[in-house]
Structure 1
Amino acid sequence: MGGTDTRIHPSAVVEDGAQLGQGVHIGPFCHVGPEVVLGDRVELKSHVVVSGDTGIGDDTVIFPFACIGEIPQDKKYQGEKTRLIIGARNRIREHVTMNPGTEGGGGVTRVGDDGLFMAGCHVAHDVQLGDRVIVVNHAALAGHCIVEDDVIIGGLSGVHQFVRIGRGAIVGAVTMVTNDVIPYGLVQAPRGQLDGLNLVGLKRRGVGREDITALRAAFQMLAQGEGSFQERARRLGDETKSDYVRHIVDFVTAGSDRSFLTPGTG
Structure 2
Amino acid sequence: MSAQIHPSAVIEEGAQIGEGCAIGPFCHVGPEVVLAPGAVLKSHVVVTGKTEIGEETIVFPFAVIGEIPQDLKFKGEDARLIIGKRNRIREHVTMNPGTEGGGGVTRVGDDGLFMAGCHVAHDAQIGDRVILVNNCAIAGHCVIEDDVIVGGLSGVHQWVRIGRGAIIGAVTMVTNDVIPYGLVQAPRGQLDGLNLVGLKRRGVAREDITALRAAFQMLAQGEGTFQDRARRLGDETSSDYVSEIVAFILGDSDRSFLTPG
Assess same fold via TM > 0.5: yes
Question: Structure 2 matches for 1:188-227, cutoff 5 A?
Answer: 188-227=185-224
- Answer yes or no: is 1:255 the counterpart of 2:252: yes
> Which of 222, 229, 234 is residue 226 of structure 2 equivalent to?
229
Q: Equivalents in 2 of 1:142, 1:168: separation in Å?
A: 19
Please, which runs of 5 or more residues in structure 2 have no aligned partner?
none
Query: What TM-score, normalized to structure 2?
Result: 1.00
Equivalent position amino acid for 1:152 in 2: I
1:155-193 C-alpha deviation (Å, 9 max, x unpaired): 000000000000000000000000000000000000000
Q: Does 1:59 align with 2:53?
A: no
Q: Following the alignment from structure 2 to structure 1, what is the Cα–Cα distance between the partners of residues 22 and 37?
A: 9
- Which of 168, 173, 176 matches 1:171? 168
Instruction: Tell me how far 1:255 sits from its aligned partner.
Output: 1.0
Question: What is the CA-CA distance between 1:5 and the residue it aligns to?
Answer: 1.8
Whether 1:124 aligns to 2:121 is yes
Q: CA deviation at 1:235?
A: 0.6
Counterpart residue number, 1:180: 177
Partners of 1:155 and 1:8 in 2: CA distance: 33
SS at 1:261's partner residue?
coil
Amino acid across the alignment from 1:54: T
2:146 matches 1:156: no
Q: Which amino acid aligns with 1:17?
A: G
Q: Note if 1:112 corresponds to 2:130.
A: no
Superposed CA deviations along residues 4-34 of structure 1, whole A, max 9, x for unmatched, are: 3200000000000000111000000000000
Question: Counterpart of 1:64 in 2: which secondary structure?
Answer: coil
Alignment partner, residue 135 of structure 1:
132
Q: Provide the secondary structure at the position in 1 that maps to 2:215.
A: helix
Q: Distance in 2 between matches of 1:167 and 1:42?
A: 27
* 1:253 partner letter: L
Amino acid paired to 1:250:
A
RMSD: 0.3
4+ residue runs of structure 1 moved beyond 4 angstroms?
none
The one-letter code matched in structure 2 to 1:80 is: E
Q: Following superposition of structure 1 onto structure 2, how do residues 6-25 of structure 1 map, counting pairs within 5 Å?
A: 6-25=3-22
Across the two proteins, how many residue pairs are aligned to each other? 261
For residues 152 and 142 of structure 1, what CA distance do their matches in structure 2 show?
A: 15
Q: Aligned AA for 2:180?
A: P
Residues 100-156 of structure 1 deviation map (CA, whole Å, 9 limit, x = unaligned): 000000000000000000000000000001100000000000000000000000000
Secondary structure in 2 matching 1:55: strand
Distance 1:68 1:205 in 2: 31
SS of the residue corresponding to residue 212 of structure 1 reads helix
Q: C-alpha distance in 2, partners of 1:240/1:16?
A: 57
Identity %: 80
TM-score w.r.t. the length of structure 1 is 0.98
- CA–CA distance in structure 1, aligned partners of residues 200 and 153 of structure 2: 26
| Partner Cα distance (1:245, 1:48) in 2 | 42
Gaps of 5+ in 1: none
* Separation in 2, partners of 1:257, 1:243: 25
